[in-house]
A and B are shown apart, each in its own frame.
Chain A
């Protein structure tokens, strides 16, 4: 079973600052890593797939990087609407999939 851990648990920043969120896997997941954004009271939304590809309609300030076991979601310049919890997810050992515990971003 592949376990995902995310850090930090909470990130408090100011508008315009850069946010760096980390996701670490207990074993290599190759390029099968995705990120989701969940705003308060809403369903999750796909942000990034295949480590670094932005989903349709996702602003360019969101970017993903990494490989193997260490991955990063970067928000280059925080906007107030980016307040949300961000989850990473892998499917390397599909059919089971796993989500990370999430990082909450506050402004």
Chain B
């Protein structure tokens, strides 16, 4: 079965770039029908979709994000990544990676999440 696992620094300084990687096992990023996604959850708050990448490299992003985001595929095609530039304290959140099923329009499965704190 497919499993996703986030990794990256837990602390990022304001104005710097937040970088996270999601490792995918049990499935190929090159398989069509899925978008590889990032979602975040601010402390005690709800879920906010950040963006997707398709195996072709096509991407879509949440236009409401204040910090510019980039979602990209790793050349190994077993990982994908998230970069948020010029972060502020408002970007402190748990970041989840998830597989988005294009047929049913759902996120399944999810990674366990990675807490990233933006602070000096």
CB pair B62 A96 closer than 8 Å: yes
Q: Residue-by-residue, is B37-81 near A (CB-CB < 8 Å gives 1, otherwise 0)?
A: 000000000111100100000001011000000000000000000
Q: A45-B110, A101-B46 are in contact. Are A91 and B105 (CB under 8 A)?
A: yes
Which residue from A43, A87, A100 sits with its C-beta under 8 Å from B111? A43
Interface residues of A in 6-44 (CB under 8 A from B): 32, 34, 36, 42-44
Classify chain A's interface size. 20 to 34
Size of interface on B: residues with Cβ below 8 Å to A: 21
Q: A43-B113, A44-B110, A87-B46 are in contact. Are A95 and B104 (CB under 8 A)?
A: no
Q: A43-B112, A96-B62 are in contact. Are A34 and B49 (CB under 8 A)?
A: no
What are 18 A-B contacts with C-beta separation under 8 Å? A34-B104, A34-B105, A34-B106, A42-B112, A43-B111, A46-B107, A49-B101, A49-B106, A50-B104, A87-B46, A89-B106, A91-B106, A96-B60, A96-B63, A97-B49, A97-B100, A99-B46, A99-B49
Residue from B63, B100, B106, B111 whose CB has the most chain A CB atoms within 10 Å: B106
- Chain A residues in 8 Å Cβ range of B34: none
CB pair A44 B47 closer than 8 Å: yes
Q: For the complex, what is the distance from the CA of A55 to the CA of B111, rounded to whole Å?
A: 17
Q: For the complex, what is the distance from the CA of A38 to the CA of B35, rounded to whole Å?
A: 22
Q: For the complex, what is the distance from the CA of A97 to the CA of B61, rounded to whole Å?
A: 10
Q: For the complex, what is the distance from the CA of A91 to the CA of B104, rounded to whole Å?
A: 9
Closest A-chain residue to B104, C-beta based?
A: A49
Closest B-chain residue to A97, C-beta based?
A: B49
